Structure 1
Amino acid sequence: MSARTTRPLAAVSLKTYLGQADTLAWLEAVRGVAVTGPAGVDLLVLPVATALPDAARVLGAVGVRVGAQDCSWTPPGAYTGELPAELLAEVGAEVVEIGHAERTGVLGEDAAVTAAKAAAAVRAGLVPLVCVGEDERVSPEAAASRCAAQLDAALRDVPEGPVLVAYEPEWAIGADEPAGPDHVRAVCRRLRTHLDAHRPDHRLLYGGTAGPGVFTRLHPDVDGLFLGRRAHEVAALAEVIEEMARVAGPAPVAP
């Protein structure tokens, strides 16, 4: 049986768009949104690595989880410039993003590196946020098959446990518009079936030019959104959170 929560999740990656000072200002603004916004929506923020301790301090007190955009597959030691998962956990990260198309396509990380990073993250007590997606427009059946294969490869050395999955068709990342809702929902229904069978403790997100209005078109086939540049404006993030609360409704009370 799936252990996933019914609460929607808004996850935001800042990538490296903002400098340190602008990131700290953004975090303070998001703290205000978390305090005054509606209940029933979980928020996860992935800032640039240098801001992780500040993010944990500013956001942790108001229930916002903090994650890292990447980690090293290496343990602590003689690996100049790397960011071991253990170090990320020490400074407040709870989640780490794995396998984003910019890591695999732009920086050339292959499936073996992605799998090693996921295993390192879990050993350090971090929850992997695994990005999957087809690189060209194909049928939902073909897209879901590719995504399931990517997910299985990334988690091949990871024991059973919680996982976040972001479906991000590569052709929609940074595009003017997100992928069409019929395509996304069809892919996510098939991917959900695969996850229920193999990784029941999961939450499935959509990313790829996600922003206000997208969750309404995709719910309930996704558990949330993985937001990029369209959430770098705090007002837009607040709008997404309000939308999620309205669309998903109050979470059921446990008996």
Structure 2
Amino acid sequence: MTPAAPGAPAVQRRPLFAGNWKMHTLPAEAARLAAAVREGLDGWGGGDPAAAGGTVTPGVAGRGAGTQPAEGPAGPPAAGAAEVVLCPPFTSLAAAAEALAGSAIALGAQDLAWGDFGAFTGEVSAPMLRELGCRYVIVGHSERRQLLGETDALILRKLEAALAGGLVPILCVGEDAAQRREGRTAAVVLGQAAHALAGLDGEQAARVVIAYEPVWAIGSGTPATPADAQAVAAALRGLIERLHGPAVAAAVRILYGGSVKPDNIGGFMAQPDIDGALVGGASLDGAGFARLVRQGVAARAAAPGGAAAGEERS
């Protein structure tokens, strides 16, 4: 069982694997890539994932969502207990949605505006994303912080807009190489998270997914070690407990991102406070991303106290 924060009620967090396609894929390419992920996950899907409130246990090979096979290509039954999200660029959302129709694979966006409607040229809002079928949205990615100048204050407004619009935000936090060398990882990461979470109520905070993505690891081929990622994830969970109490801290899912691949996902998923991955470059290979998901959920199931399918919750 995944340890809860000190004093928190025991809870199982459903693993989540999100593919961030960044500024890649035209619509036809996105449809093919989404179909490849779907095929690689052996037909996971069927039914309406939204009806389950985002807690779908996908089946395989013709079985509907919520149905768990006796065994599958990834190993024991627990290997099916995960959520998978694909985040194409905005112009490819509709094509990906069509390719994923009827499956339990969720659609996500890479960013959103801080308001619903208005004179904001070029922006896209939560209601617009919901209309396209999105259930998730990435907020505060380091590329937007660094290249586009997004501040903690703006990211908070976007986080609040996502929650108000019925989307699940994936809040990205992480330190750059200089901050790491200076020993400021905890201060930077916890500062980013605190600015985003402190003003939320407990119910809102429990809906947020946090992705720890050390900036120096993104696209570098050199990920953080599982132990280092676990230390940051544990610190984040401790922060959430201080802000919102042990029950919320136990419920929030924390992902790792940064050069995560099929051959290293197992080490991260064996950590008690890491609940999945936000995957960049490796998610552009449909079969490879599906393999990463399968290996990740199998590693979680095999970890000490790994939960059986059906015992998990998000």
Q: Is the 8 A contact 1:13 1:47 kept in 2?
A: yes
Greater displacement, 161-170 / 53-62 = 53-62
Structure 2 unpaired stretches of 5+: 1-7, 44-59, 61-72, 75-79, 302-306
The Cα shift of 1:5 comes to 4.1
1:78 aligns with 2:130: no
Q: Give 1:24's aligned amino acid.
A: A
The Cα shift of 1:196 comes to 3.8
Greater displacement, 52-61 / 9-18 = 52-61
Identity in percent: 33
1:186 aligns with 2:238: no
The Cα shift of 1:240 comes to 0.8
2-side partners of 1:217 and 1:46: how far apart?
A: 24
The Cα shift of 1:208 comes to 0.8
Q: Which has the higher contact order (CA 8 A, sep 6+)?
A: 2
Question: Given the alignment, which residue of 275, 293, 297 partners 1:241?
Answer: 293
| CA-atom RMSD in angstroms | 2.4
The Cα shift of 1:159 comes to 3.1
Question: Given the alignment, which residue of 248, 258, 271 partners 1:208?
Answer: 258
The Cα shift of 1:254 comes to 4.3
1:155 aligns with 2:202: no
Q: Give 2:287's aligned amino acid.
A: A
2-side partners of 1:2 and 1:16: how far apart?
A: 41
1:217 aligns with 2:281: no
TM-score (norm. length: structure 1): 0.90
Deviation digits for residues 167-214 of structure 1 (CA, Å, limit 9, x no counterpart): 001111110221222321222222222234434331100001111132
1-side partners of 2:31 and 2:11: how far apart?
A: 31
Number of matched residues?
255
1:251 aligns with 2:308: yes
Map 1:40-189 to 2 at 5 A.
40-136=81-177, 138=180, 142-160=184-202, 161=204, 162-189=207-234
- The 3 A distance-change label for structure 1 pair 2 and 70 is farther
TM-score (norm. length: structure 2): 0.74
Deviation digits for residues 94-130 of structure 1 (CA, Å, limit 9, x no counterpart): 1111111110100111111111111111111111110
- The 3 A distance-change label for structure 1 pair 210 and 2 is farther
Detail structure 1 runs of 4+ shifted over 6 Å in the superposition.
none
Question: Which one has a bigger Cα radius of gyration?
Answer: 2
Q: Is the 8 A contact 2:255 2:275 kept in 1?
A: yes
Structure 1 unpaired stretches of 5+: none
Other structure's SS at 1:242 match: helix
